[in-house]
Amino acid sequence: MRKCFLGCILCIVLASPMMAQTGGQKETKDIDPLALRVVKAATDPVKDAKAYSFRALVSRDLLGTNDQIITTFSTSEITVQRPNKLHIKFRGRGEPVEMFYDGSGKTVLYSASSKFYTTVDTPTTIDAALTDISKKGVNIAVRNFLESDPYQSLTEALTTAYAVGSVDLFDEKVYHLAFTEPGAEWQMWVVGGDTPRVKRLEVIDKSNPHHTRISVTFFDWDLNPSTSNDMFTFNKPADAKEIEMLKVMAEK
């Protein structure tokens, strides 16, 4: 059971961040203001919400031992409460895992089925906590949408931005956008007309010679969910056992 819990945590920690880190190479910028306006229209309501929730289906490319690309899938149910509370229910390979962050300086990953949990010291704001756990190897695929300003997080490193156009997809109008930044290229699909929402995101890691891809489909955006403090705080069951995640990963 300990191995199952570790395996599911590894699905989280090995996930690439949605956007690549900015490199030192300078590139000519070609930014279409319309593409930025669409991103801002879809993300500002998330920034301004006192609380919000959504579900995400994530597929990611991993390299097999023979360098063949293997596609894996995971799902997440995410709730954020401003300014500093975050809860994620994660299901991938292995046991389901929950992440609790209540702004108290601790982040907890817990599997109710295996009764194992691990605690990581983190700062008391979501942005700083996400940066801190990323440095420790824990990269959350939808991180950009959890930060205090999703628009800035998504667009600060752009070198190109294009509005590809509007298309009909499954009887729904979808606005298609395309972007590049150092080390990555990505696309976004926005739906909703007067109430735009991000529907899909795809990121290609150009720094990887295999150009691996992460795709995220978003469901059930709710900008006024019912929340409580208990949702974000880990209340340790009497039979739960703590493991040291980073130590166990090093031993694996």
H or E element in which residue 42 lies: helix 33-48
For the stretch 187-220, pLDDT in tens is 999 998 889 999 999 999 998 888 889 999 999 9
pLDDT > 70 fraction of the chain, expressed in percent and rounded? 86
Per-residue pLDDT at 27: 62
155: β partners: none
Q: Residue 164: which of 19, 43, 34, 37 has the closest Cα?
A: 34
Q: Residue 37: which of 171, 209, 186, 162 has the closest Cα?
A: 162
Is 5's pLDDT higher than 90? no
Query: Whose structure tokens read 């739906």?
Result: 191
C-beta pairs of 71-79 under 8 Å, 24+ apart in sequence: 72/11, 74/11, 74/15, 74/141, 76/141, 76/142, 77/53, 78/53, 78/54, 78/142, 78/145, 78/146, 79/51, 79/52, 79/53, 79/225, 79/227, 79/231, 79/232
For the stretch 131-142, pLDDT in tens is 988 887 777 889
Q: Residue 81: which of 17, 143, 130, 126 has the closest Cα?
A: 126
Q: Which CATH architecture fits 2-251?
A: Clam (2.50)
Is 7's pLDDT higher than 50? no
